[in-house]
Amino acid sequence: MSHLVAPSVLSADFGNLQRDIELINNSEADWFHIDIMDGAFVPNISFGFPVLKAIQKHAKKTLDVHLMIVDPDRYTQMFKDAGADILTVHLEACAHLHRSIQNIKNAGMKAGVALNPHTSVHLLEDVIADIDLVCVMSVNPGFGGQKFIENTYAKVAALKKLIIEKNSKALIEIDGGVDMNNYKKLLAAGADVLVAGNTVFGSADPAKAIKQLKQI
Ligand code: DX5
Ligand code: ZN
């Protein structure tokens, strides 16, 4: 499978959200990456259900929803109803991660687990075979446009090894600071999905930036 590109809507122009959604629809992007922040798990608040539903109304591609919220199980069904195809919860936000994963799958979505930069991939050993996606945070979650953490390459390689060992089908997604200088090295380390906010929407030509990130 060739790799996927998921522009992060967090960096879109919210005054022209429909325009930016159409831009992604008409580009080579594969997914919409949607960041939900609650001001408790992370020091920022992004947006909630009314905005997500507005995105869903126009988006014609997979909705990859990244929850940076405490106790995400409270909202599993609501995210399904709002159109999420993939629902990713943070390992650090779940007291019963196995149950959270099963809830997401039982609701009819693909299940992802996100890891903060300080969290070892080895903590996924007992659930890796059950999940569809691992979101490796390559910045501390909360904001777009932050600097990429270099340790991510080693982490991706270790995760890839674990996925093979456990015969898991999980995709490796990289989230934070992905740019034109590091994306090829990330793909070489084993990444399957590249999230990009600032690199896409901070560019003069977002569709061209997406096209470039699709190139190997
Ligand atoms: C950070 C979010 C990211 C963010 C990425 O907490 O999870 O998805 O939008 O933005 P860039 O690509 O600008 O680092
Ligand atoms: Zn994200």
Residue spans per domain, the chain: 4-214
Averaged pLDDT for residues 162-188: 98
| Residue from 146, 173, 199, 210 to probe ligand 1 pocket by mutation (most atoms less than 8 Å from CB) | 146
Q: Are 205 and 180 in contact (CB under 8 A)?
A: no
Measured from the Cα of 141, ligand 1's closest atom is: 6
Strands of the sheet containing 62-68, edge to edge, are: 4-7, 193-196, 171-175, 133-137, 110-115, 86-90, 62-68, 31-37
Give me the pLDDT at residue 4, please. Answer: 98
Which 8-state DSSP code applies to residue 31? E
For the chain, the farthest-separated pair of C-alpha atoms sits apart, in whole angstroms, at: 46
Beta partners for 54? Answer: none
H/E stretch holding 63 reads strand 62-68
Ligand 1 near 46 CB (within 6 A):
no
**C-alpha 181 chain-centroid distance:** 20
Q: What whole-number distance in Å separates Cα of residue 15 and Cα of residue 18?
A: 9
The catalytic residue among 20, 30, 38, 175 is 175
For residue 9, the ligand 1 atom closest to its alpha carbon is 9
pLDDT of residue 166: 98
Per residue in 148-166, pLDDT (tens digit) is 999 999 999 999 999 999 9
Closest ligand 1 atom number to CA of residue 137: 7
Which of 30, 35, 38, 64 is catalytic? The answer is 35
| 179 is a catalytic site residue | no
User: Per residue in 61-84, pLDDT tens?
Assistant: 999 999 999 999 999 999 999 999
173-189 mean pLDDT: 98
- pTM for this predicted structure: 0.98
- 176, 195 contact by CB (below 8 A): yes
Count of CB atoms situated within 10 Å of the CB of 61: 16
131 HSE (CA, 13 A, CB side): 29
CA of 8 to the centre of ligand 1 (A): 6
Residue 214 has pLDDT above 90, yes or no: yes
Quote the tokens at residue 209.
């930036």
Question: What does the pLDDT look like over 103-162, one tens digit per residue?
Answer: 999 999 999 999 999 999 999 999 999 999 999 999 999 999 999 999 999 999 999 999
**Ligand 1 site-directed mutation target among 175, 178, 180, 182, most atoms within 8 Å of CB:** 175
State residue 44's pLDDT score.
Answer: 98
Check if 197 has its Cβ closer than 6 Å to any atom of ligand 1.
yes
In terms of CATH architecture, what is 4-214? Answer: Alpha-Beta Barrel (3.20)
